[in-house]
Amino acid sequence: MTDYQKIVWLASYPKSGSTWVRCFLDAYFLGSVDINDLVCSVADDTSTRYAVGDGSDVRKFPIEIQQLTRPMALLRLVRAWNETDHAQKMPLFVKTHAAHMVTNGIELLPAQLTHSVIHLVRDPRDTFLSFEKHMGLDRKTALKAFFDKYRTLTDDKRAKMHDFISSWALNTQSYLNADTHNVRTFRFEDMRRIPVETFSEILRHAGVDPDHDRVEAALEAVTLDKLKGQEKEVGFKEASPHHAFFGKGEVGGWKGKLHPFEERKIVDRCKGAMKLAGYIGKRAA
């Protein structure tokens, strides 16, 4: 009997470390990284994967109609994966920024196709500053977008479908509160602080028995300085026209950059998820 529960989701709100993880996967499984040709994972947002079969440009449909195509597109992806040699060697990693929700009657992460979910989270105060730069928004507009529970992302230049990401708080809580889909949350701060242990656990949750030496070598190949250097040398197709994609990966970099009023506003609007993730309260670390 065919196993369709193959997708290992790399799920996160934008600017939380998913591209770094994707680069690591290439370094781990292939031994090399080309930031413009990551082959050990795919994104869930290109219109070709969502084609309805008659050549229509699905991006022109209302979002509730676009979403109707999502489960079948993901099923086609899994079926195609099952027919490759890779299916016996590594998981099917799929990056998504979608919230873990049912919208317009559609489960954005279909349980029937899901093996597990690697949820990446980053302190919203740091995430917000990266999000603001990437989007090229002024502070007031960026805050409004960060808190918008109906927020979607799209990019016509990259044939990108509408991703329903919601607000940082609702997106994050949708994974932290999940009692299905075998979700495990990994903090960006731990990826920076204890990288070998954290990336090893990411592999383990995907069903891969990590090789310590390969993990160390892969992490050495994808230091943020090296990824920034590659972007500077050859460019990066996912970079924003407003700012370089790879930053410093600062932890606590929001201090001195956010006005106290802005910091309080983010904490007030995101405090539930921040407590669950250990960014505020007794578990804060």
pLDDT in tens, 227-242: 888 878 888 776 666 6
The token pair at 228 is: 């920034």
Yes or no: say if 116 and 208 are a contact pair by the CB < 8 Å rule: no
pLDDT at residue 278, as a whole number: 95
> What CATH superfamily classification does 7-123+148-239 receive?
P-loop containing nucleotide triphosphate hydrolases (3.40.50.300)
Specify which of 46-55, 88-97, 109-118, 151-160 reaches the highest per-range mean pLDDT. 109-118
Yes or no: say if 153 and 160 are a contact pair by the CB < 8 Å rule: yes
Residues 91-144 pLDDT 10s = 999 999 999 999 989 999 999 999 999 999 999 999 999 888 877 888 999 999
% of the chain beyond a pLDDT of 90: 64
Other Cβ atoms less than 10 A from the Cβ of 206: the count is: 21
Is this prediction's pTM over 0.75? yes
Domain spans of the chain, in order of start: 7-123+148-239
